[in-house]
Chains A and B, each alone.
Chain A
Amino acid sequence: MVMRTEEDVTNAYEAFSDAIFRHCLFRVYQREHARDLTQQVFMKTWEYITDGKSIEHVRAFLYRTANNLIIDEVRKKKDHVSLEVLEEHGMEPSVDARDRIEASIDGLAITPYLKQLANDDREILVMRYIDDLSPQEIAHVLGETANVVSVRLHRAIKKLRQLLPHTYVL
């Protein structure tokens, strides 16, 4: 899939908006914020195309753009969401209570444990196990080799295992 037109970007939106939203949500923990970031990802992608460029590796480009935006956010401010708030409210559900909420509460249970990890570890676990990117795709997004990604993944899983309740350790 190559992106160079409005239709291409719209198709990419239909195909990947949920995945990008999930990726952002499990990094910033606030629904509205994740939604804004998702929106920015596709708008920035379009801005890139308006300079006359086309995008060949669409998925990797979108994730890379999302990661860059998230990193900018992290640099601007610290995440003030406390573990207590997360555990009390889960993640922030849809701001508009009248919307039909599709997020499974169970799906958010991993959040408090991810929050305790370093940003790099969290990033790679989210990409592998929530975004379903292959190690090769992750390597492409992060600009590293697949070997380095594998090693980082292994270390991140080990750290996460130590945080999970014993009953859930594989």
Chain B
Amino acid sequence: MFYKLRYFRKTKDVKLTEREKGWMRSELQAFMKAHPVRVIAESRQIDQEGHSHFLSSFKSMMLKPLPITLSALLVLGGGTAFAAEQSLPNEALYPVKVQVNERVRATFTPTTEAKAKWEARVAVRRLEEAEELAIKNKLNAETQTTVETNFDAQAKLVQEKIARLKAEGNTQAAIDLSNEFQASLRAHETILVELDAQNIDETVIDPMIDKVKLNVTAMQEEGGRLQQEQAELTVDTQAELKLMAQKKKHSASEAIATAKHSLNASTNLNTDIKAKATLLIQMANTDLTAGNDAYNKANSKLALTMYGRAEVQAGEAIILLKASHSLRLEALPEIPPPTDVIEKPTEPMESEIQETTDLKLDMKKEVPPTMIDNKTEVKIGL
């Protein structure tokens, strides 16, 4: 006779969180796609059919582009390089874009900071490719694996570059890059979620969204750590800090103005995108005001932080509007929300945000709830 020991009963409650489960699922699916079944009998048959073998080799090349040297580019000519810029995974010139154009530019970028910014741009290009493929109904398991694998590698490279900037003593540049990259990722996460909502195949979109979310989290944590370290550093003069805050205020104000201009100039904008961009600009303004308060109270460190946040949020709005425009994400017909979704944030969110910024600053605290869970954000307003 077997009996249940009392202690064991509650062990059944121990399980993976939904987030863990989802992340692991996407990793497993990517792994399976990257390691297809080796069917020996079939490959023998393919060997006997020359054209099938050629096609499978060609496809394999598309998935793992062969390195192409600069000399090959010189042979191909600049026109090819230019045309390659528009190419997408599985297209003939895509290896030129990734292996030649991007690598050449990285090679000839002079400073560590500029190289780091370029690598971040390359990572974002992968997301743009995914979005373009999704819009064209070409985002399938194969292309998604290519994009995701390349994005993953590129995102790791960005993290290495940020670490290098820090190691070289350029902490502010590391912070700026981490914030900018985070803003780009969050903007593209919103775009991907919007594409998901437009019934693009969720089995290929969801892994991309999860991957981007992971990197957003990593960047948030890294940015928080860097800012914390910077706050702990002894600054030689208050004047130096004050100057940094002034410069950051200027760039934040410019970013907000640009974002507002882009928003006002956008026509037939997707409702969700418009709402999110509006909210981002509001939050940026709130942070700018908080920065001004801190600056007037001679707290240049806090002012620098708040101006940095304002710049990131405005930057995210700009990227979001630009990507929405280039992908032509038009306004969707109004659909009543399901009864179990969270209500769309209204004006009180601003006061909540204001209250948050007035509190002791916690660099690791995430952006207010509407920005964290983009699944919630997507359902809002639908």
Contacts and interface: CB of A to CB of B under 8 A. Distances in A.
A51 interface: yes
A99 interface: yes
B38 A21 contact: no
Contacts of B239: none
A9 B33 CA distance: 12
B4 to A, nearest CB: 7
Contact of B37 (A43, A50, A100, A168): A50
The A contact surface, by secondary structure, is: helix
B250 to A, nearest CB: 33
A18 interface: yes
Contacts of B37: 49-50, 52
Contact of A107 (B10, B21, B366): B10
Interface stretch (A34-42, A61-69, A81-89, A139-147): A34-42
A129 B8 CA distance: 6
B8 A99 contact: no
Interface in B7-59: 7-8, 10-21, 24-25, 27-29, 31-33, 35-40
B35 A107 contact: no
B202 to A, nearest CB: 14
Nearest to B6: A168
B13 to A, nearest CB: 3
B108 interface: no
Interface residues of B, number: 35
A98 interface: yes
A130 interface: yes
A154 to B, nearest CB: 10
B20 to A, nearest CB: 6
B367 to A, nearest CB: 12
Contacts of B25: 10, 13-14, 17
Contacts of A28: none
B72 interface: no
Interface in A1-44: 6, 9-10, 13-14, 17-18, 21-22, 25-26, 35, 38-39, 42-43
Contact of B19 (A17, A22, A99, A160): A99
A159 interface: no
Given A99-B17, A129-B4, A106 B24 contact: no
Contact of B28 (A39, A49, A102, A106): A39
B7 A109 contact: yes
A108 interface: yes
A18 to B, nearest CB: 4
A108 B24 contact: no
B20 A35 contact: yes
Contacts of A113: 7
B3 A46 contact: no
Contact of B11 (A17, A52, A107): A107
Interface in A114-165: 128-130, 135, 153, 157, 160, 164
Nearest to B15: A18
B5 interface: yes
Contact of A10 (B21, B28, B217, B366): B28
Contacts of A170: 3, 5-6
Nearest to A154: B2
Given A38-B24, A106-B13, 4 more contacts: A10-B29, A10-B32, A103-B15, A106-B10
8 contacts: A22-B14, A26-B14, A35-B24, A50-B38, A102-B14, A102-B16, A129-B4, A164-B7
10 tightest A-B CB contacts, nearest first: A104-B13, A107-B10, A129-B8, A18-B15, A110-B7, A106-B10, A107-B11, A103-B14, A107-B14, A107-B13
